Chain A
Amino acid sequence: MNYMKSFRHFAIAAGFAAATLASAGTAAAQETLTIYDLESLTGPGQTVGVAQANAVKLAVEHINEAGGLKVGDTTYTVELDTHDDRSQATAGVTAVQKMISYGKPVLMVGSLSSAVTGAYLPIVREREDFISIVMGAALFFTEEDKAIYHPRVAVAQYTESTVTFIKGQEGIKRVGVLTDNKHGGFVQQTPRLKELFGEAGMEVVGEEEFSFGATQFGPQLTAILRGNPDVINIRGYGSDVARAIKQARDLGYTGLIVSSSGIVAKDVIEAQADAAMTNARDLFVPLAGDLIEGGRNAEKAKAFADAYKAKFGEESGATSLSAYGGFFILARAIEKAGTVDDIPAIRKVLDDITVAEVSEIIEPMIPQEGGRAFREHQSYFALVVREWRDGRFVPVGFVD
Chain B
Amino acid sequence: MHRLTAFLPWLLLLAAMAAVLATGNGYYVTVAMLMMLWAILALGLNFILGYAGYFHLGLGAFYGLGAYGAAAFSASYQMPMIVALLVMPAAGALISVVIGPLMLRTRDLHFAVATLALGMIVSDVTNNWVAVTGGPMGMGGISRPGQIGIGALSIDGATTSGMFIITAAIFLALMIVAAIARRSDFVLILRGIKSDDMMTRSLGFSTTRYKVAAFAIAGAIASVGGVLYAHIVQYISPEPFTFFAASFQAFVVLAVGGLGSLWGPVLGSVLLTGLPEILEMDPHVKLLVYGAVLLIVTIVLPRGLASMGRVLSARARASANAKTKEKQT
State A395–B282 Cα separation when bound (angstroms): 38
Q: In the complex, which of the residues A41, A89, A100, A121 contacts B283, with contact meaning CB atoms closer than 8 Å?
A: A41
By a CB distance below 8 angstroms, the chain A residues around B283 are 41-42, 84, 86
Mostly, the B contact residues are: helix
CA distance A338 to B142 in the complex (A): 37
Does more than half of chain A's interface fall in helix, strand or loop, or is it mixed? helix
Across-interface contacts of A100 in B (CB, < 8 A): 26-27
Complex CA–CA separation, A181 to B137 (angstroms): 10
Give bound CA distance, A181 to B140, whole Å: 19
Stretch at the interface among B189-197, B209-217, B237-245, B316-324: B237-245
Residue of B nearest to A209 (CB): B128
Docked pose: A110 CA to B145 CA in angstroms: 31
Measured between C-beta atoms, what is the minimum distance from B244 to chain A in Å? 10
Q: Are A181 and B128 in contact (CB under 8 A)?
A: yes
Given A93-B30, A100-B27, also A184-B235 (CB < 8 A)? no
Asked whether A122 lies within 8 Å of B235 as measured between CB atoms, the reply is yes
Closest to B140 in A: A118
Determine if A90 and B240 form an interchain contact, defined as CB atoms under 8 angstroms apart.
yes
Q: B26, B137, B276, B284: which contacts A188 (Cβ < 8 A)?
A: B137
A279 at the interface (CB under 8 A from B): no
The residues in A between 93 and 148 inclusive whose CB is less than 8 angstroms from any CB of B are 93-94, 97-98, 100-101, 114-115, 118-119, 121-122, 138-139
- In this assembly, does B234 line the interface, its C-beta being within 8 Å of a C-beta of chain A? yes
Residue of A nearest to B137 (CB): A184
CB of A88 closer than 8 Å to a CB of B: yes
Are A88 and B245 closer than 8 Å at their CB atoms?
A: yes
Segment 127-185 of A: residues with Cβ below 8 Å from B: 138-139, 181-185
Q: Cβ of A399 < 8 Å from any Cβ of B?
A: no
Chain B residues, Cβ within 8 Å of A122: 140, 142, 233-235
CB interface residues, B 263-321, toward A, < 8 Å: 276-277, 283-284, 286-287
User: A138 and B137: CB pair below 8 A?
Assistant: yes
Report if A205 contacts B (CB, 8 A). Answer: no
Q: B287: nearest residue on chain A (CB-CB)? A: A42
C-alpha gap A184/B27 in the complex (Å):
28
Check if A187 is an interface residue, CB within 8 A of chain B. Answer: yes
Nearest CB of A to B77, in Å:
19
**Contact: A101 with B235, CB < 8 Å?**
no
B 233-261 contacts with A by CB, 8 A: 233-235, 237, 239-240, 245
Q: What residues on B are CB-neighbors of A182 within 8 Å? A: 127, 136
Beta-carbon contact of B284 and A118 below 8 Å:
no
> Contacts of A88 on B, CB cut-off 8 Å?
239-240, 245
Closest chain A residue, CB of each to CB of B34: A90
Contact string against B for A residues 25-41, beta-carbon threshold 8 Å, 1 for contact and 0 otherwise: 00000000000000001
Tell me how far the C-beta of A152 lies from the nearest C-beta in chain B, rounded to whole angstroms.
16
A203 to B231, CA, bound (A): 42
Most interface-central of B130, B235, B240 (chain A CB within 10 A): B235
Say yes or no: B27 contacts A101, CB within 8 Å. yes
Out of B27, B233, B237, which one reaches A98, CB within 8 Å?
Answer: B27
Pair B27/A119 contact, Cβ less than 8 Å: no
**In the bound complex, how far is the Cα of B287 from the Cα of A84, in angstroms?**
11
Question: In the complex, what residues of A have CB within 8 A of residue B28's CB?
Answer: 101
Q: Tell me the bound Cα distance from A127 to B36 in angstroms.
A: 26
Size category of the A interface is: 20 to 34
Complex Cα distance, B82 from A204, in Å, reads: 45
Nearest A residue to B233 via CB reads A119
CB-CB nearest in chain A for B142 = A122
Assuming the contacts A41-B284, A42-B283, asked whether A90 and B27 have C-beta atoms less than 8 A apart, the reply is no
| Contact of A187 with B130 in the complex, beta carbons under 8 Å | yes
Residues A181 and B235 in contact, CB atoms below 8 Å apart? no
A114-B138, A122-B235 known; A97+B27 contact, CB < 8 A? yes
List A residues 195-244 near B (Cβ within 8 Å): 209, 211
Q: Does B25 contact A (CB under 8 A)?
A: yes
Whole-angstrom CA separation of A42 from B281 in the bound complex: 13
| Pairwise interchain contact A188-B135, C-beta atoms closer than 8 A | yes
Whether the pair A187, B137 counts as a contact (CB closer than 8 A) is yes
Chain A residues whose CB sits within 8 angstroms of the CB of B30 once the complex forms? 93-94, 97
**Nearest-CB residue, chain B, relative to A186:** B136
Query: Which of B26, B135, B137, B286 has the most A CB atoms < 10 Å from its CB?
Result: B137
CB nearest neighbor in A for B249: A88
Evaluate contact between B140 and A101: CB separation under 8 angstroms. no
**List of B residues within 8 angstroms of A115 by Cβ:** 138, 237, 239-240
Measured CA separation A7–B67 after assembly (Å): 68
Q: Cβ of A114: which chain B residues have Cβ within 8 Å of it?
A: 136-138, 237
Given A42-B283, A88-B240, A115-B239: A93 touches B233 (CB 8 Å cut-off): yes
Task: Name A121's contact: one of B27, B160, B235 (CB within 8 Å).
Answer: B235
Interface residues of A in 34-87 (CB under 8 A from B): 41-42, 84, 86
Asked whether A94 and B137 contact (CB < 8 A) given A84-B283, A119-B235, the answer is no
Which B-chain residue is minimally distant from A102 (CB atoms)? Answer: B27
Q: Of A42, A94, A101, A181, which contacts B135 at CB under 8 A?
A: A181
- C-alpha gap A327/B327 in the complex (Å): 72
For the complex, give the distance between the alpha carbons of A182 and B240 in Å.
Answer: 14
Closest beta carbon of chain B to A117's beta carbon, Å = 9
A181 to B138, CA, bound (A): 13
Is the CB–CB distance between A89 and B27 below 8 Å?
no
Binary interface encoding of chain B residues 104-125 relative to chain A, with 1 for a CB under 8 A from any of its CBs, else 0: 0000000000000000000000
Do B34 and A94 touch across chains, with their CB atoms under 8 A apart?
yes
C-alpha gap A89/B240 in the complex (Å): 7
7 A–B contacts from the bound complex (CB under 8 Å) = A91-B276, A94-B30, A94-B34, A115-B237, A122-B234, A138-B137, A188-B135
For the complex of A and B, 8 pairs with smallest distance between CB atoms: A184-B136, A184-B137, A101-B27, A84-B283, A122-B234, A97-B27, A98-B27, A41-B283
Given contacts A89-B235, A119-B233, A185-B137, 10 further A-B contacts (CB under 8 A): A42-B284, A42-B287, A97-B30, A97-B160, A101-B25, A115-B239, A118-B138, A187-B136, A187-B137, A211-B127
